[in-house]
Structure 1
Amino acid sequence: MGVIAWIAAATHVHYILFPELGALAHDVIKRPRGTWAKAPGMLVLTPLFTGLAGTIIVRNIGSGMVPILLATAAGMLIIRVLKSPIAPAISAGVLPVSLNITSWYYPASLLVGLVLLVAISLVWPRFVPTPPVRTASDVADDITEEAPSTYSWLPFFLVFLIGTAILAEVTGWRLILFPPLIVIAFEMFAHADVCPWAKKPIRLPVACTLSALIGVALVTTFGDAPLAVIASTACGILILRVFDLHVPPALAVGLLPFIIPTVDYRFAASVGIGTLSLTMLFLVWRRLRKTRLSPS
């Protein structure tokens, strides 16, 4: 992440520091034989296509609630068509709409970090011994990262998406529906039975808000220096360890302030509101789901 931040600063193309790259890199390096690491082609193609779709949408329609919903739908469609497990690619499509990025350099810039990450994913397993037995958490992570097998959860996901988008539009705090939140919600609803953070939804808003606070503090103090990016990534990993959460997209929350043009602490408040809204709706949906599935 430090190298990517340095390249972004040297070229003045800040979008090279694609926040979800932190989530992808963390999982690929931590789990070199996991679902994402075993799909190098999809690691490059899925974010590239969703990023291109998001750029086309923002150039033709602009930013706002409807374009964000269209970018999310486009991302989900691309994932389904490609049968790709790379859900963080949804964020790549929403990001240009959220930040009003209209440059064609944006989708191309994603390739810098993604190609480097794929190179690492091909080499890194040679240096990491294969574990003798797959743990239950590894199995759960692999299932969570796979493409959804059913879409019975989709109506409640859409309720969350549209409701949060309306809240963001009405309040003027558009980053209440920040891009990584859509990925977190997508995985949470699509794989509710095995998703690691779906089992600990109360901790999610706290962990994400702390990551956002640290990211904003580092940016306002040190700017977009590579060491600040490294520190934000390290703090994000530490927060997840302390809260015993495996939420790779949450690492993107601490990196997002590095590419927001004029970021302040309202971003951290927006993250808190958005993640708390997700947690509350998910708990309601889970209760209804259990009631429907339980014998009368």
Structure 2
Amino acid sequence: MIWHNLKSKSFFSAYILVILMLVVAVVTGQKDVLFPEIAGMAMGVMVFSVPNWIKKPVHLWLSPTLAAFMGTSLNVLSLTPLLKIWLGFVIIVILMHIFRVNFGPTIPAGLLPIFLGLHDYVFAISTGIFTFVIMLAAFKVRNPEKLPNGPANFRKKTDTIIIGIVLCLWIWLAFTTRLEVLVVPPVFALIFEIFHSEKFPWKLIPSRLAVLTITAILSVGVYHMLDGSIIWVGVINVLITLFLCNFFKTPVPVAFGVSLMPLIYPAWGSWGFPIGVFITTGFLMCISAAYRQFRN
């Protein structure tokens, strides 16, 4: 399976897009170009063809791009970082509900510029460019005949409010304890999506938790072994993540975003990061599974 993916044109295209992002960051000397979820989005669309993502390709471009610009703009406000993140999160979730957006990576696109304290729009512009390419790829791989027919059930307001409160409390915990490793934007996107899924049984947790945690461990290891080289760390970590997804037979696109996180923030390049991923993913997934069991 892994060899089949490596030989496929879809993987090659997604891989080249990620490498291009890494090269642009190095050539321009702008780490703000890096948006880890671009790797997850590229793999989710071109390799794994996540149905909910490719159903409305335009959302793959507009949603994260507008969220990135909005998140950057909020940094002009005279508020604490925590209040800015809360405000940004609430605005994003409300807009996603109004425009019926099912694309989870919209959340990290809006939260990252606030968390990183970005005041220019390099991150937002870069996000807009790369997500535009991913949108075009989604139009190409999209097969209407294989997509669900009929009107899809959109998220329930109650579910959105509950998971919104849970994630806001989790972010508050991270800031209060000064444990930045508990802030894992790609995982927030995953939790937001599975919390709204019709079914999420307990048996799905171990494999996803293993993929994300081992990805974090090996990604930090490669980051230190290669002395933080942006291109080589990214190139190797994406391959490692693909291998893990195939080994556990669990495609988790957000894991590719996790694999690039050590490149953009010091705390995410520390050995505390895998612990943060394990705790954040495990705890929030258990809440999601318990809630779905309760609702069903």
TM-score, length of structure 1 as denominator length: 0.81
Q: Could you say what secondary structure the match of 1:101 adopts?
A: coil
Please tell me whether the aligned partners of residues 64 and 107 of structure 2 are also in contact (alpha carbons under 8 angstroms): yes
Code of the aligned partner of 1:281 = I
Q: Aligned equivalents of 1:40 and 1:284: distance in 2?
A: 32
Q: Give the structure 1 partner of residue 5 of structure 2.
A: none
Q: Aligned equivalents of 1:50 and 1:63: distance in 2?
A: 19
State the shift of 1:122 in Å. Answer: 4.5
Instruction: Please tell me whether residue 5 in structure 1 is matched to residue 22 in structure 2.
Output: yes
- Per-residue deviation, residues 130-187 of structure 1 (Å, max 9, x unmatched): 79x95xxx86xx99xx883322323431342133123212221123022112111110
State the shift of 1:199 in Å. Answer: 5.4
Q: Give the structure 2 partner of residue 202 of structure 1.
A: 206
Instruction: Please tell me whether residue 228 in structure 1 is matched to residue 233 in structure 2.
Output: yes
Instruction: Please tell me whether residue 181 in structure 1 is matched to residue 187 in structure 2.
Output: yes
Q: Aligned equivalents of 1:180 and 1:78: distance in 2?
A: 19
Q: Give the structure 2 partner of residue 294 of structure 1.
A: none
Instruction: Please tell me whether residue 27 in structure 1 is matched to residue 44 in structure 2.
Output: yes
Q: Could you say what secondary structure the match of 2:54 adopts?
A: coil
State the shift of 1:38 in Å. Answer: 4.8
- Per-residue deviation, residues 97-117 of structure 1 (Å, max 9, x unmatched): 222222222211212322332
Q: Give the structure 2 partner of residue 282 of structure 1.
A: 288
State the shift of 1:246 in Å. Answer: 2.6
Q: Give the structure 1 partner of residue 72 of structure 2.
A: 55
TM-score, length of structure 2 as denominator length: 0.81
State the shift of 1:62 in Å. Answer: 5.2
Q: Aligned equivalents of 1:274 and 1:91: distance in 2?
A: 15
State the shift of 1:243 in Å. Answer: 2.1
Please tell me whether the aligned partners of residues 41 and 253 of structure 2 are also in contact (alpha carbons under 8 angstroms): yes
Instruction: Please tell me whether residue 111 in structure 1 is matched to residue 111 in structure 2.
Output: no
Any residues of structure 2 matched to 1:236-251 within 5 Å, and which? 236-251=241-256
- CA 1:57–1:109: 2 relative to 1, 3 Å: same
State the shift of 1:61 in Å. Answer: 4.3
- CA 1:148–1:110: 2 relative to 1, 3 Å: same
Please tell me whether the aligned partners of residues 62 and 100 of structure 1 are also in contact (alpha carbons under 8 angstroms): no
Unpaired runs of at least 5, structure 2: 1-17
Q: Aligned equivalents of 1:283 and 1:80: distance in 2?
A: 22
- CA 1:35–1:273: 2 relative to 1, 3 Å: closer
Q: Give the structure 2 partner of residue 157 of structure 1.
A: 163
Over aligned residues, Cα RMSD in angstroms?
A: 2.9
- Choose which of 217, 222, 234 in structure 2 pairs with 1:218: 222
Code of the aligned partner of 2:194 = M
Please tell me whether the aligned partners of residues 98 and 178 of structure 1 are also in contact (alpha carbons under 8 angstroms): no
Code of the aligned partner of 2:231 = P
Code of the aligned partner of 1:275 = T
State the shift of 1:16 in Å. Answer: 2.3
Instruction: Please tell me whether residue 254 in structure 1 is matched to residue 259 in structure 2.
Output: yes
Unpaired runs of at least 5, structure 1: 291-296
Code of the aligned partner of 2:259 = G
Q: Give the structure 1 partner of residue 108 of structure 2.
A: 91
- CA 1:62–1:14: 2 relative to 1, 3 Å: farther
- Seq. identity, %: 21
